[in-house]
Amino acid sequence: MNAPDPSLQDMDQMARETVAGLPHPFAKAAQDVALRVVDWPAQDMLDAFDMRDPLELTGLYEGIPVTEKSYMDQMLAPDTVWLFRQPILAEWRARGDVEIAQMVAHVTIHEFAHHFGWSDADIAHIDRWWE
């Protein structure tokens, strides 16, 4: 019998363990970021990227990267890393070659990398995960 899919709480715990394991300078910067795990991205999130299929978006960073922050910035909301459970589960099932905790860790690291100021191109150059 197959194990049930991890719950929102399970994924949240996996993501928080990943963040806790970041090296010191990154772990310190990550402390100011809210981490949210929900089943699906909101429609406005998809619209911002001209996405029609919510399964295409496994995670999202909303905020100002630390490399662009200024003491003059007025924070309207905390920087937030969003993880989307259903798209992550779909990607995990489609891959079939990684543990779910690895998949969650990968998405978590990718989104926090944006917080640290890395572009998608920077991340792709270093992380060949999707090849």
**33-80 pLDDT, tens per residue?**
999 999 999 999 999 999 999 999 999 999 888 787 766 666 677 899
Helix (H) or strand (E) holding 85: helix 85-95
Q: For the whole model, what pTM was predicted?
A: 0.87
Tell me, what amino acid is at 66? V
In a domain, 38, yes or no: yes
| Dihedral sign computed on CA atoms, order 119, 122, 124, 127 | negative
Domain that holds residue 111: 8-66+78-126
Token pair recorded at residue 63: 């905020």
In a domain, 73, yes or no: no
Bridge partners (DSSP) listed for residue 84: 38
In a domain, 1, yes or no: no
In a domain, 15, yes or no: yes
The per-residue pLDDT for range 92-119, each reduced to its tens digit, is 999 989 999 999 999 999 899 888 887 7
In this prediction, residue 125 carries a pLDDT of 67
